[in-house]
Chains A and B, each alone.
Chain A
């Protein structure tokens, strides 16, 4: 109970820290259209609707997801047992239903275990390119491996516990752990009891440790996918938000009598650092599972450019986790290079590919806004285009007066 309590406390504390980090972001209105938002969350997060684009990973992920959710019912019993000092608290009340449920949980545990083994195989044996990518060098790859290995070990402990119980006199043999029973045949009754208790504690402490590892890991998506899809962009993918502060300035330029509302000017235009981004961008960064579907779909990345939308999200998260206003660092140049930002075609392949509604494009555009509006730092070709736009109302050096000339060439 003390172990559980302190683990719960540590998890809650870390959650508050992450919430505070996300709240460093600028405001953005995503409170509208709540019906649609709930529906999106139900469809995309709960219903996994966007996973189907890749059927094999979708199936494996579904197994782990369903396994995780349902086996937690058994974990609930472990919690009750742990607190009340009972063993298999629900068993007397449920009888044969309990037995059936345990058979079912064992099948699930086995499927989760098998899926994790396939996941590890994809990562390290068949080496799926997006899972063996320079983006993942160092901690991210270790993180992914840790998660999969821990899941395998936890499921193994659960099955071992049931097997040891089955080997005890009068024990029930379940569908999967039954295969493990012969392995324990040489053990004495007291050793078997020790295995049951040991596996119980191992599983339970493992769960608590994993819970506390989550917020440091990409695996936190199992929690944040829900708010992330809820607050995801509902407007057409092609629509970039308007900047009202700019509208006031432009209106004042076009009409000297226009009086902009006071106190509306932002600290800076666009985003140089994570705190210039809006909070949904930051929520996106904590939610990213680093699956790399965005990068795999990105035309710039496919053709060998430096841009990787996944890395945009990872760099944003890394910077946010270590953010300090006075450290002289910023997301731009220290986390994300200009070369990456300018390689984007804004084609939305990344946002389409993301299974949980993350929007790397929004971050790219805001950082371009900073470079252009605060530093006039656009690449040469774009500066020429913008000069033409300013002078002629067209991106090329043609006079606007000639814009209808094609109509005279018709006949």
Chain B
């Protein structure tokens, strides 16, 4: 397990007259969902191990507004966005990193029109940079022979064209990387996007997460890796549907790297 770790808020940095290198935008799932909190903690430990000076907004962080915007409620989205932008701009924040592709997309693409201009990275991009610069190292071996299949989150992949950073990070594990037939720009959605996470699906033959998990399980992987807390929930539910939850783990890229470093 990792060292004792104290995470400072942006307010604490500001009180000390400092500015962190980057603000870790935790997101709602990452803050409140028990499964997603493990991803948050794994990534925080990786940032700490890499010597990155980072802060969280804590109680000053609101929802980015993504689910409201996709549900069609532009008012609610902008209420959230303008309040967040006010906080971020008041602190003079310039760099954000988040483990949620939905937060990533909204902060990066939809906040500029409302006055929020930041350098925003998805945590897999940030991890790739840490690995490239040597600030973070991964000892191969622990995942030797493990079959890992990566599922592209729509809001990281098609929405923002990032297919390679998560794969490059996973390659450092030296496991056996598998690809689903539908991957990268042809990746099949997990079923959570567009605010579907918060509603019952419309009537149909099958749930989307079951369809996607079926594709992943067909490759007989040991691990289904992804980079989104919502994909994680959907695919975990999918493995339960097929009674594979004991055999196949659904893990975030950050959790895998943290595991390789004995941090979790």
Known contacts A303-B204, A404-B31; is-contact A389 B80 (Cβ 8 Å): yes
A102: CB under 8 A from chain B? no
The answer to whether A299 and B189 touch across the interface, beta carbons within 8 angstroms, is yes
A62: CB under 8 A from chain B? no
Report the minimum CB–CB distance from A243 to chain B (whole Å): 5
The answer to whether B73 and A348 touch across the interface, beta carbons within 8 angstroms, is no
Given contacts A304-B205, A385-B199, A386-B76, 5 further A-B contacts (CB under 8 A): A53-B186, A299-B211, A342-B202, A352-B158, A406-B26
B7: CB under 8 A from chain A? yes
Partner of A382, one of B75, B108, B199, B211: B199
B74: CB under 8 A from chain A? yes
Report the minimum CB–CB distance from A224 to chain B (whole Å): 24
A349 to B192, CA, bound (A): 14
The answer to whether A389 and B63 touch across the interface, beta carbons within 8 angstroms, is yes
Q: Considering only CB atoms, which chain A residue lies closest to B104 in the complex?
A: A238
B16: CB under 8 A from chain A? no
A306 to B205, CA, bound (A): 10
A238 to B158, CA, bound (A): 8
The answer to whether A352 and B186 touch across the interface, beta carbons within 8 angstroms, is yes
Q: Using a CB-CB cutoff of 8 Å, which residues 66-95 of chain B contact chain A?
A: 67-76, 78-80, 82-83
Report the minimum CB–CB distance from A379 to chain B (whole Å): 5
Partner of B31, one of A247, A302, A368, A406: A406
Q: Considering only CB atoms, which chain A residue lies closest to B41 in the complex?
A: A410
The answer to whether B7 and A410 touch across the interface, beta carbons within 8 angstroms, is yes
A-binding segment of B109-117, B137-145, B241-249, B253-261:
B109-117
B 199-229 to A, binary, CB cutoff 8 A, 1 in contact else 0: 1111111111001100000000000000000
A269: CB under 8 A from chain B? yes
A-binding segment of B54-62, B125-133, B168-176:
B54-62
Q: Considering only CB atoms, which chain B residue lies closest to A237 in the complex?
A: B159
A399 to B191, CA, bound (A): 27
B-binding segment of A147-155, A186-194, A248-256, A322-330:
A248-256
The answer to whether B5 and A396 touch across the interface, beta carbons within 8 angstroms, is no
Report the minimum CB–CB distance from A57 to chain B (whole Å): 16
Interface residue tally for chain A (C-beta within 8 Å): 73
Report the minimum CB–CB distance from A252 to chain B (whole Å): 11
* Cβ contacts A to B, 23 pairs, < 8 Å: A235-B109, A236-B159, A238-B160, A246-B78, A250-B82, A303-B206, A342-B199, A347-B189, A347-B194, A349-B186, A351-B158, A373-B74, A378-B72, A381-B200, A382-B195, A389-B76, A390-B76, A394-B28, A395-B197, A404-B31, A404-B59, A406-B26, A407-B58
The answer to whether B71 and A406 touch across the interface, beta carbons within 8 angstroms, is no
A234: CB under 8 A from chain B? no
A345: CB under 8 A from chain B? yes
Interface residue tally for chain B (C-beta within 8 Å): 74
Collect the chain B residues with CB atoms within 8 Å of residue A381's CB: 198-200
B188: CB under 8 A from chain A? yes
The answer to whether A407 and B62 touch across the interface, beta carbons within 8 angstroms, is no
A405 to B9, CA, bound (A): 11
A 369-411 to B, binary, CB cutoff 8 A, 1 in contact else 0: 1111100001111101110011001111010111111110111
Partner of A339, one of B67, B68, B76, B202: B202
Known contacts A396-B28, A398-B32; is-contact A373 B196 (Cβ 8 Å): no
Report the minimum CB–CB distance from B138 to chain A (whole Å): 21
Report the minimum CB–CB distance from B203 to chain A (whole Å): 7
Collect the chain B residues with CB atoms within 8 Å of residue A253's CB: 79
